[in-house]
Structure formats: C-alpha cells, structure tokens
Structure 1
Amino acid sequence: MQLHTTTNLLLLSMAVADFLVGLLQMPLLLLQNQGCWFLGDVMCVVHYFFAALVVSVSVGSMVLISVDRYIAICNPMFYTTRVTLTRVKLCICLCWTFSGVQGSWIYRDVFKQPDMYITCYGSCVVVVGFTEGLVGIIILFLGPILVIAVLYLRVFMVAVSQARAMRSHVAVVTVECSQTVKAMKSEIKAARTLGIVLVVFLLCSCPYYCFAAAAEAAMLGPSSSVIVIWLIYLNSTFNPVIYVFFYPWVRKTIKHIFTLQILQPGSREVSVM
C-alpha cells in the first residue's frame, strides 16, 4: 500500500510499456534483422503495430508524469484534489487507447493487405506514408518534447524559488517545517529524475526521427535503419535503470519480488520507503 500513489501508477504504466519492449519487440527485431521472419505477413504487421503502441504509451506516460510533477510542485495545495487515483487511472486508459487508435490509423492499409510491401519470403517490411509519418513525428516526438520542456521549465523556476525561500528561513526549525522541506526535496528529486529521462529520450529518439526525415531522400542505408530502431528500444531499457539508480525503494521492491519475499505472509507490510 506504501507504493499505491498516483505518481507510481504513472510509473507503472511506463514500466509495463518498457517491459513489453524488452520482452517482445527486441527479440522479434533480432529475428527480423536475421532475414528469417517465419511468423507470417499478419504477424509482421502486428509486430510493427505493437512497436508503435508500446513506444507511444511510454512517451505518453512521460508526458503524464511531467504534468503530475508540474501540479505537485507548482500547485501543491491542489495536488490531492486534482490528481486522484481515479483520474490517473482514466488518463492511463486514455493513453493506451489513444496509442492503439493511432497505431491502427498509421497501419490501416497494411492491416487490409498485410503482404503489400513484402517482396520475398522471410522478409518483414512495412512502409509508412508521408502523412502518417509526419503525424507520428508530431505526436510521438515534437509534441511531447514541447509539452514536457514547457512544464519542466516552469517546474525548475518554481523549485529554484522555493529552495531560496527555504534557505532564507533555515533558522526556523520546527517539525512541520522539517516535513515540508523533506516533501519538497522529494518532489524536486522526482522532477530532476524526469529531466534525466527526458534527456535520454532525446538522445535515443533524435537519430530515429532524423533518419525518418532523411529516408525520403535515400540518404541512409538499411544498416542505419536497424541502428536507430535499436536506439528507440534501448530508451525503454534506460528508463528503469534511471529510476533504480535514483530511488532506493525501487531497488528494495525489485529485490523483494525476485527473492520471492512477496509470496510470504505480511509481505505487503514490509517497509520499502
């Protein structure tokens, strides 16, 4: 119950998407790169659709987390009333639903004719049109970056002003003040972690979308395509590593699960915070 918070629910959504990338997409990409795709034309389209789904959910979860951090730091008085478990669950459901609808729209033609772009046995190729590619770049890259950057800049400014205010009143030591400072430090740490996740996302995503823009002019070869797709997938690998590095309770929880202590009676009462 200690971890049943609105922020952790958003982290869970991103973690599930990242986990599915590692469990399903990376092995299938290895299979595809070996030129021995034997799962059929329909599964080829499903493979691309599912890739678009989980990547979109991961990015959408990042946007939702940034909104959560913005409200928590910039409007802390209204956080508990505006950000409730019910609303967060609704937002997560909408994120997954929207990602599925977007993927279905992008691959609508190949869903009707799965072998449209397959020229030989053992290949798995899907071509995205210019309009669909442009919409994908705006929704999955430019839009999220703009939203997160604006919110993060606001969070940074508020965090700096609050840190200065706390330092100016450092002489006033009370239990209530101590708890407020501790809570604020926790919120700022969460925002800083999100900032690192955003930087990693940019480093992993920029090559892919630069490739997408250059592909029309045949400026890059197939080997480059493989590399940039792997970078996109590696972003899902880096996200949990970042949170494990910055949050001791994440490490404790993972250890609790993998050592099967979670199956013992009263395990839910173990302190991980």
Structure 2
Amino acid sequence: MIKEAEKLNPWFTEDQTHHALSSWSKELTHEQLSKWTDSYHYVDSDKKSVGVVMAGNIPLVGLHDLISVLLSGHNIIIRPSSDDHVLIRMVAAILSSLDNGYSERIRWADGKLKDFHAIIATGSNNTSRYFEHYFSKVPNVIRKNRNGIAILTGEEGENELSALGKDIFQYFGLGCRNVSKIYIPEDYDIDKFFGGIYSFNKIIEHNKYANNFDYYRSVFLLNADKILENGFLLLKESGDLASPMASLHYERYQA
C-alpha cells in the first residue's frame, strides 16, 4: 500500500509515509486517546452524517477528521483527495476489519457529496470560498491555507537549528505547519543557519523537489530577486509568509 501511495503521489515517499504512520502510532494509544476524549462531555443523540472533504498535501492528513467524527458517535462520508485516497482507504479498511460496525459508519463519495448534516472541508484560500458558499446552509468547519514561522535570536545551537530544519523540510514543506518563513536579527550570519540545516541536503535528490528548486531559482533570477542558496534551499528576503516549494522567506528585525 505504501508503494502504491507513492506511485500515485511521488511526494509520499516511503520515508515520509513511515514518519506519518509512526507519529500516529504514538497518538493512538489508549492513554493518549483517553486524555483527548476525557476533556469532552458526550450525550446520547441521533447519529448524524458528517461529510469530510479531505486534503492530500501530506500522508494521512485527513485521519484526524476521520477519527474525530467516529469518536463523536456520528457517521462519516469521506470525499478523499485524489492525492491521498490509497492510505486513508487502507486505514478505514483496517478499522472495519477490527470492528464490523465501522464499515456501516464509513461511506465514500467519489463524486458529489450528498445526504450530509454537517461538513468539515480542508483546502486552499481559493477553494475555501467555494466551500463557504456551497456548504453555507449546514454547520461547517472550513480550513484555509496556514503557514508556520520561526523567530531566531542568533543564540540557537546545532540541535535547535537541526530541529528547525525538520520543521522546514518534513513532508517537503507541504504541511500547513511547516515553517515557510524565518525572522532573523539584523546582524545574523546566514551561514550559521545553512550549517545547522545541512543534514537535510539529500532532499535535493528527490526529482520533484529538485525540479521545483531549479524552477524557482530561475524565476527569482529572471526577476532580479536577491537570493541566497546552499544547493538545496533558496532564501529570499520577503514580507510574505508563504514561500514557494524549495524556498524559504526571511526578514530581518531589530533586536
């Protein structure tokens, strides 16, 4: 299944999918699930059908919504992303094999969603406008683009910079929690940052990532943008929070 998922979506490498599965395995323990669910008060009510439009930017990104709906006692109608339908169907099949009741509570919508009482939809800022209009008559949770930032003081050690590198490069930067911009002191030495993230240099061996690196490097140069690079990451000074694939925005601040 993991190889099939990578064949469908080359961003879902075995390493990235294993990381997602490993992360979920730590969260789906009895202790962690109890800690999560004990903070809510559950009441008996008629089961509703919750439609979930899932994203496909990182492996199993829709799993949290699947678990949330099932734990709340409701049924789920899944509109999977074309980029991540293999893994989420695999998990649903495993759940159904453990408890036949889940097979009756999980439905799939490969086309238009219908017969739902509420909606959870994840997409871009553009698609969110469509979601907000189309699903306006039912209770809904609509998610838009999100970006992560990091503020450096200049006092960070190698371990902290390496951890920052993970926040930048995990899932090739496609996650909504990936860092897309850093704020650095006016006199910060960029070479220190480049040195701290050098262990992630093999990311450039991924064909699609390398293509993006070459493409945006060409675009920046054609636009006469001032960039810094280390062979696998492009740094561009910009006030924007979101940065293109294989690049990172930075902005200097006065300490």
Q: Same fold (TM over 0.5)?
A: no
Which structure has more helix as a fraction of its residues? 1
| TM-score normalised over the length of structure 2 | 0.23
Task: Point out which structure has higher relative CO (alpha carbons under 8 A, 6+ apart).
Answer: 1
